Amino acid sequence: MKTVLAVVGTTVLSLAASGRSAPELAQDSGLRHEWLPAGTTSVVHLDMVRLRRSTVGSLLLEHREQIGLEELDEVQAELGFDAVQEISSITAYGEGEERKPTTILIHGSAALDGGLEKLREMEGYRSMREGEIDLFFLEETYGYVHVVDRSQRLVVASSSSEAVLRGARVVRGEAPNLAQAKEPALRPSHVEGSFFSVVATELAAVRDFEPASRVFGLAQGIQFDLGEAGGSFFAHLGVATDSVENARKIAQISQGLLALASLVGGDGLPLEVQELLYGIQVNSRGNTVSVDFEYSVEALARILSMVAEESGDQ
């Protein structure tokens, strides 16, 4: 289980230091508001189905050893199932005052049953029962397995047994969920083609780090989307503030950081990297700031292949 959570952590939580209101998430995305507690204040969601179908995702998975994602193969060797193919999505969320994502939802096929059976054979595994809810514990991690239907499983995991119990009661329909909340702190959504998204009422985790703290310290809400559509790889960051002036400040700081990156790199930056920087657009409208990036998938594929080849030669 520790290996599984290590993959989840490096894939999802390390990307959470980024953060657009858009259409509701499709049901096949794996993120359902009825699986999130009513008091959810932050969500990080990785849609493995859309990632696998994208050109960028296919390249990342093809060269996973060169870019440090070899843990995926370790999971398959240890638990006996292909995490890349059998996991539909990975979601991490935070609740209430604890805005950092601390509880993880792993949504996948019934093949997860085989992996969970192998966990039971590991040293230190133990099961426990809280009321009518069966939990398990292994390597500092508590977990609960929910049978969605014959072909789908949902694993709730956290280092806190209380958090897993709350999550279990939500997915079992025994506790209020985000879909039922009349005035939720946030309502996750994303744009078409997005395979990775972050939404939060704020990003407290980055407030102590310059220069990010100067930007996110003024934010009232943040949403970030990463994906692929129409032959382009895109990213969108939307930052909501409490005033037009603060939105203008964030836009100015962001534009300054981009200019600084170009200046520091100068002519020494590869042409592909310069094009990446030029593709970032920062705008403010009212009390909202948007940072948009779009780049040709074909050109990005060349960069990723080049990086993978260089890593393989070292």
Could you write out the DSSP letters of every residue in 246-283? HHHHHHHHHHHHHHHHHHHHGGGS-HHHHHHHHTEEEE
In this predicted structure, the answer to whether residue 13 has a pLDDT above a threshold of 50 is no
What mean pLDDT value characterizes the chain?
76
- Between 47-56, 203-212, 239-248, 271-280, the lowest mean confidence (pLDDT) is in 203-212
Where is pLDDT greater, at 167 or 96? Answer: 167
Tokens 């005035």 map to which residue? 183
CA distance 219 to 237: 12
By the 8 A CB rule, do 191 and 26 touch? no
Where is pLDDT greater, at 25 or 214? Answer: 214
Share in percent of the chain as helix, strand, coil (round to 5): 40, 30, 30
**DSSP 8-state secondary structure symbol assigned to residue 171:** H
Q: Where exactly are the structural domains of the chain?
A: 2-313
- Residue 168, pLDDT score: 97
Q: What end-to-end distance do the CA atoms of the chain give, in Å?
A: 31
In this predicted structure, the answer to whether residue 117 has a pLDDT above a threshold of 50 is yes
- Residue 172, pLDDT score: 95
- Residue 314, pLDDT score: 53
In this predicted structure, the answer to whether residue 237 has a pLDDT above a threshold of 80 is yes
Nearest to 277 by CA among 289, 291, 290: 291
- Residue 32, pLDDT score: 85
- Residue 267, pLDDT score: 58
- Residue 102, pLDDT score: 86
Averaged pLDDT, 217-232: 81
* Sheet with 98-109: strands ordered across: 126-130, 133-138, 141-149, 152-158, 98-109, 87-95, 40-47, 194-200, 221-229, 232-240, 288-296, 280-285
pTM: 0.78
Where is pLDDT greater, at 86 or 64? Answer: 86
By the 8 A CB rule, do 107 and 91 touch? yes
SS3 of residue 129 by DSSP:
strand
Tokens 């994602």 map to which residue? 69
- Residue 14, pLDDT score: 33
Query: For the residues of 79-94, what is the DSSP string, one character each?
Result: HSS-HHHHEEEEEEEE
Q: In this structure, which amino acid lies at residue 234? A: F
Partners of 152 in beta bridges: 109, 149
